[in-house]
Amino acid sequence: MSMKVLSFKIPIVLYEQIKTHANSRGITVSELARMQLTDVYEGNPETDGGKSEIDDRLTNVSEANAVLKAQVAGLESELVIKNEQISELHQLLAIQSKTTGQLTEQLEAVKELEDMRQRRSWWGRLFHK
């Protein structure tokens, strides 16, 4: 079988993990990578379950993704409810402000009436001294 060189960059931490795994199996990093890639694309059983490990990880990622989507949906519905509550509070605040203005006007009118009652007319002051 002819071979082709494949080169790519990975994070150092990941390389160290792969190197440790390869050393524990007594093979080089290149051999481990070749076996894993072959297993993924050709279903080679010599890779000691590498494909099932990848499948398990993909399943875990899919499950985590589903959980996150459910959480996002829940948060979005909570956000809609909160927005509705904020809108209602704004309406209540506007009503309260309007009512406060009306009560202030009424209070001023009552004070003016009381001031008018307490003041004597010009004729009243003239004759009640």
* CA atoms of 121 and 111, how far apart (whole Å): 17
pTM assigned to the model? 0.44
* CA atoms of 96 and 91, how far apart (whole Å): 9
Phi-psi region of 110 (alpha: psi -120 to 50; beta: other; left: phi over 0): alpha
**pLDDT tens digit at each of 129 positions of the chain:** 688 888 888 889 889 999 998 899 899 999 888 888 887 777 655 544 555 677 777 788 888 889 999 999 999 999 999 999 999 999 999 999 999 999 999 999 999 988 887 776 766 666 765
Secondary structure string (H, E, C) spanning 75-112: HHHHHHHHHHHHHHHHHHHHHHHHHHHHHHHHHHHHHH
CA 26 to chain CA centroid, Å, is 46
